[in-house]
Chains A and B, each alone.
Chain A
Amino acid sequence: MVPLVVLAAIASLLFVLPLLGLLQRTPWGDLLDIVSDEVVLDALWLSLVTSVAAAILSVVFGVPLAWVLSRYRFPGRHVLRAVVILPMVLPPVVGGAALLFALGRRGLVGEPLYDATGFLLPFSTWGVVVANTFVAMPFLVLTVEGAFSGVDRRFETAAATLGASRYTVFRRVTIPMIAPALRAGVVLAWARALGEFGATVTFAGNLQGRTQTMPLAVFVGLSSDRDAAIAISLLMVTVSLIVLVSLRDRWWPSK
């Protein structure tokens, strides 16, 4: 078992060392001044709102999508699944550009929508939410679809023979059985949305208070004020760790 532990230790170092690097460069003296700056607070608030919104949208639309992918046999199912997973492998900047070509003012759907209503997703907070959801939902779909496929169908059949409608079976039997996977999927999707940079800056732009999330503030900050960028990074790490650690028992499947 020793080799396994050694490999695990090396794996842990890969994640712990960058964190130590960040801590070692942190301007501790000015930390409070920097993180209480209006730009940083705006970015923090926007990041929390948009990442939570993306996680919610991922559940609302992603769970049904995972269910359809898992339970229905239809032509093109495998292609659809691959397309849904695509944002996980696509460079986010490419994803952002693709969103722009689809939903931008000159986009496939965006242009008629803009001409009819004047509604514009890019350069708005909704644009950030869409970009976040685009990169985050695949994590939820993948996790939940696996769980749907693993469910013992006899429980569903039993519920149905006892008179439960298909919707009741889904709500009262299937969903509780996949709950651990659903929780994991939500956390993964939220975490991915919180850290999202490329698709957001490409699709939604970068404006304080409207579209400038924490990762964007870090990137722009790196150009002008390195200390501020490091302080914002540390703030992001702290917020993420607090959420992930506190969710561990109730949300993350663990012993």
Chain B
Amino acid sequence: MTIGVLQSAALGVALAAIAIGCGDASADDSVAGSGEDTASGELLVFAAASLTDAFGDIEDAFEKAFPDVEVQLNLAGSSTLREQILGGAPASVFASADETRMDEVVEAELIAGIPMVFASNTLTIAVPTANPAGITSLDDFADPPVLVGACAVGVPCGDLSAAVFTAARVDPSIDTYEPDVRSLLAKIADGELDTGLVYVTDVAARADAVDEISLPPGIDIATSYPIATLLDAPNPEAAALFVEYVLSDEGRRILTDHRFGTP
């Protein structure tokens, strides 16, 4: 047992050394610090649905830097994730699409340390390519014949959408409140809906099928993404490394590539 721990500790050091050797200089200074820790095994990361593509890339880059860690992403609406964590899911890391959902997990005393904001996001009007319904602004959302989708109130993008509609003084005629932003995006991309409010990062992810109409300044309210390790994390060492990686320059670069704002 002791030998096993020592061995994996040694392996961890070796891996950190490899990471330093291979990674670019900017990533090293932030990631190498915890290199002595034993980071191996499976790491279960609960991440908001809107992080699907960015965290997919971060997972790949992180596993390249720490080949002994097998990252498992559980992607769902932040509210669903919160529900799973409160219900005792064996998550090591929680990345939420807004601070409300994170705060509820903090209040339940399930978070180790303080959550760190690692990204921000804004909403935008998405339309299927070629914009068949001829949407030009948020005002078109009030037009009943137009098929409009929004995220359900109670999930971050739904709360944010409600704030946007209020700020723009638009009373939208919504045809469906989707349980998460990715299902909304899919229906717009398939042309089943004429328009909807999704994150700018989602439009970037489906640029093949979706066009974007920017919201006017003042209406483009931003949401913050906090990340934290869980108190009962089954894999605390890898969890700490992963959070550090997300906050590192390398993590930041990947997030920026996916059009997230970074602090």
Give me the interface of A with B, judged by CB distance under 8 Å: 100-101, 104-106, 120, 122-123, 201-202, 204-207, 211-212, 219-226
- In the A-B complex, the 4 residue pairs with the smallest Cβ-Cβ separation, listed nearest first, are A205-B176, A224-B154, A223-B79, A223-B154
Contact (Cβ within 8 A) B155 A223: yes
CB-CB under 8 A for A100 and B192, given A206-B176, A207-B174, A220-B179: yes
* B139 at the A interface (CB under 8 A): no
Complex contacts, A204 vs chain B, CB 8 Å: 176
Complex contacts, A224 vs chain B, CB 8 Å: 79, 152-154
CB-CB under 8 A for A222 and B192, given A207-B177, A211-B176: no
- Complex-state Cα separation, A123 to B196, whole angstroms: 14
B179's partner among A101, A201, A226 (CB-CB below 8 A) is: A201
Complex contacts, B147 vs chain A, CB 8 Å: 105, 120, 123
* B52-104, CB < 8 A from A: 77, 79-80, 83
- Complex-state Cα separation, A100 to B190, whole angstroms: 9
Contact (Cβ within 8 A) B191 A222: no
Contact (Cβ within 8 A) B177 A222: no
Contact (Cβ within 8 A) A206 B177: yes
Give me the interface of B with A, judged by CB distance under 8 Å: 77, 79-80, 83, 147, 149, 152-155, 174-179, 183, 187, 190-192
| A to B CB contacts below 8 Å, 21 in the list | A100-B187, A105-B147, A105-B191, A105-B192, A106-B192, A120-B147, A123-B175, A123-B176, A201-B178, A205-B149, A205-B176, A205-B178, A206-B176, A207-B174, A220-B152, A220-B179, A222-B83, A223-B77, A223-B155, A225-B154, A226-B83
- Complex-state Cα separation, A7 to B175, whole angstroms: 48
Contact (Cβ within 8 A) B176 A104: no
